[in-house]
Amino acid sequence: MDFKDYYKTLGLARGATQDEIKSAYRKMARKYHPDVNKDAGAEGTFKEAGEAYEVLKDPEKRAAYDQLGANYQAGQNFNAPPDWDDGFEFSGGGYTQADQESFSDFFETLFGRAQTRGSAQQAGQTFHASGQDHHARITIDLKDAYEGATRTLSLHAPQVDADGHMHVRERSIRVKIPKGVTEGQHIRLAGQGTPGIGQGRAGDLYLEISFQEGSPYSVNVRDVYFDLPIAPWEAALGGKVKAPTPSGSVELKVPANARTGQKLRLKGRGIPGSPAGDLYAVLQIVVPPAKTDGDKELYQKMAREMDFNPRAAMGG
Amino acid sequence: MAKQALKIISGEVVDAVSLSELCRSCDVHADWIIELVNEGILEPRGMTGAQWQFSAVCITRVRTAVRLQRDLGVNKEGIGLVLDLLDERAQLRQLLRQLEPSVVSDDEG
């Protein structure tokens, strides 16, 4: 196990005051909070800062840690010396509402775990409690929303064993993604949360749906939008063009004199449901580059013969 | 647990939840949810607490609110502000992603 330098984590010197510790933590927490910062490493940094703060904000834990830590460097191999906490008292474990399930082995070796619900304390009594609901996020392709799918998920859930210790248990489940789900909806899996204690019922598992980023389609509730590139003559003359959609290829009728940004609506071709969403093709006129002499000649002919000034409205 | 033995579980799509379902799902007290409603942070359909129906997005909002309060000490007024700004930021980011390809092609041309 590596030694953790909690001062370094918060960017502080060992002599920092309690006020400095608090403000350093608050600053880091605001910056790296996973709800605010979506960078990959943010959550880890946030948790480390939380763990460091949990120790340093509490004068009892801090004093014990200081006495221990003077001889260690961050990352150095560490084993807690026997009776290291002799003479220190931690009132009630000193746990706050912080999410202690995320603390490191290093922390646990030193300060142990808070008593959790359903611990051995209740042994011998008849105790019933409902299990907690769990939440997870599931990223799906738009195609899955159109057609439905099944997904295998790995879930890491904290579990309390018979002695009242917490363990992270990994388990896999196969879940049916029903056709017609959309972003922000949840799928509730009854009884897949924390098991109940005694005769209490098990909690539920909620899966929040989000769509894979980087797809050519954007979604608003059940309406789906995509850019449809067209040639200038298709825009000017109108006519039928073939367009790929999440539910297969369709023929779209482009009106004559179509403009970039114009939306063609395909009713009911959005995400299925009642009512189903609509699919919108957003027209994008693509100007062909003048590569050959023939191309250039065509453009020159247009310039000569067409009465068109795109800057007329600007007074140009 | 053998992988091939995994049974497919069918869930239920949740469009809306009641006050008690929301409390249970997010592990919070009803009083706190009522305060968030009074603050205009959550907008349920229905007149009284017993009839309230919260859209599924509220589950995500409440869970974020819990974390903002617990982790950052944000109060209710602040939670409303942060949630609205986070929503707005998400919308702007989506817009930016849609605009990015055309910006790139402008540079090339």
pLDDT in tens, A23-64: 999 999 989 998 888 888 898 999 999 999 989 998 888 888
Confidence of residue A103 (pLDDT cuts 50, 70, 90): confident
DSSP secondary structure of A196-213: PBTTPPPPPEEEEEEEPT
Query: Which range among A97-101, B14-18, B45-49, B91-95 has the greatest average pLDDT?
Result: B14-18
Closest residue by Cα to residue B20 from B40, B48, B62, B50: B50
A vs B: CB pairs below 8 A: 92
Angle (CA) A280-A284-A289 rounded to 5° is 155
**Which of helix, strand or coil describes residue A252?**
strand
ipTM over 0.90: no
| E strand or H helix at A229 | strand A223-230
Confidence of residue A247 (pLDDT cuts 50, 70, 90): confident
Asked if A194 is an interface residue toward chain B (Cβ–Cβ < 8 A), one would say: no
CB contact under 8 A, B14 and A206: yes
How much is the pLDDT for A113?
A: 57
How much is the pLDDT for A216?
A: 86
Say if residue A270's pLDDT is above 70: yes
Residue pair A192/A134 in contact by the 8 Å Cβ criterion:
yes
CB contact under 8 A, B3 and A172: yes
Cα separation, A94 vs A117, whole angstroms: 17
Question: Smallest Cβ distance to B72: which of A33, A150, A180?
Answer: A33
CB contact under 8 A, B8 and A36: no
The sign of the dihedral angle between the CA atoms of A133, A138, A143, A144 is negative
User: Which whole number is the average pLDDT over B55-81?
Assistant: 91
CB contact under 8 A, B59 and A186: yes
Angle (CA) A57-A112-A203 rounded to 5° is 100
Cα separation, A153 vs A143, whole angstroms: 18
Cα separation, B101 vs B108, whole angstroms: 11
- A58 phi and psi, to 5 degrees? -100, 110
**Which of helix, strand or coil describes residue A260?**
coil
Asked if B18 is an interface residue toward chain A (Cβ–Cβ < 8 A), one would say: no
Mean pLDDT, chain B, rounded, equals 84
Question: Smallest Cβ distance to B11: which of A26, A130, A187?
Answer: A187
- Angle, helix B57-72 to helix B30-38, in steps of 10 degrees: 100
- A68 compared with A248, residue with greater pLDDT: A248
In angstroms, the separation between the Cα of residue B30 and the nearest Cα of chain A is 16
Residue pair B44/B58 in contact by the 8 Å Cβ criterion:
yes
CB contact under 8 A, B14 and A185: yes
Residue in B with minimal Cα distance to A148: B10
How much is the pLDDT for A117?
A: 40
The answer for residues whose C-beta is within 8 angstroms of residue A166's C-beta and 6 or more apart is A101, A113, A116, A158, A159, A160
**Which of helix, strand or coil describes residue A48?**
helix
Question: Smallest Cβ distance to B14: which of A180, A187, A218?
Answer: A187
Asked if B89 is an interface residue toward chain A (Cβ–Cβ < 8 A), one would say: no
Asked if B91 is an interface residue toward chain A (Cβ–Cβ < 8 A), one would say: no
Cα separation, A222 vs A202, whole angstroms: 32
CB contact under 8 A, A186 and B63: no
CB contact under 8 A, B8 and A175: yes
Residue in B with minimal Cα distance to A208: B60
In angstroms, the separation between the Cα of residue A209 and the nearest Cα of chain B is 10
Cα separation, A237 vs A53, whole angstroms: 67
How much is the pLDDT for A133?
A: 86
- Which residues of A fall within a CB distance of 8 Å from B59? 135, 186, 206, 208
How much is the pLDDT for A94?
A: 40
Say if residue A120's pLDDT is above 80: no
The sign of the dihedral angle between the CA atoms of B81, A50, A202, A176 is positive
Confidence of residue A203 (pLDDT cuts 50, 70, 90): confident
Residue pair A233/A257 in contact by the 8 Å Cβ criterion:
no
How much is the pLDDT for A85?
A: 61
How much is the pLDDT for A169?
A: 75
Say if residue A208's pLDDT is above 60: yes
SS (H, E, C) B34-60: HHHHHCCCCCCECCCCCCCEEECHHHH
Most A CBs within 10 Å: which of B71, B81, B85, B92, as the mutation test of the A interface?
A: B71
How much is the pLDDT for A2?
A: 77
Cα separation, A50 vs A52, whole angstroms: 5
CB contact under 8 A, B13 and A180: yes
- Asked if the bond preceding A272 is cis, omega within 30° of 0, the reply is no
Say if residue B40's pLDDT is above 70: yes
How much is the pLDDT for A112?
A: 66
Confidence of residue B107 (pLDDT cuts 50, 70, 90): very low
Asked if B20 is an interface residue toward chain A (Cβ–Cβ < 8 A), one would say: no
Confidence of residue A97 (pLDDT cuts 50, 70, 90): very low
Residue pair A219/A183 in contact by the 8 Å Cβ criterion:
yes
Q: Which residues pair with B104 in a beta bridge?
A: none
User: Which whole number is the average pLDDT over A279-303?
Assistant: 94
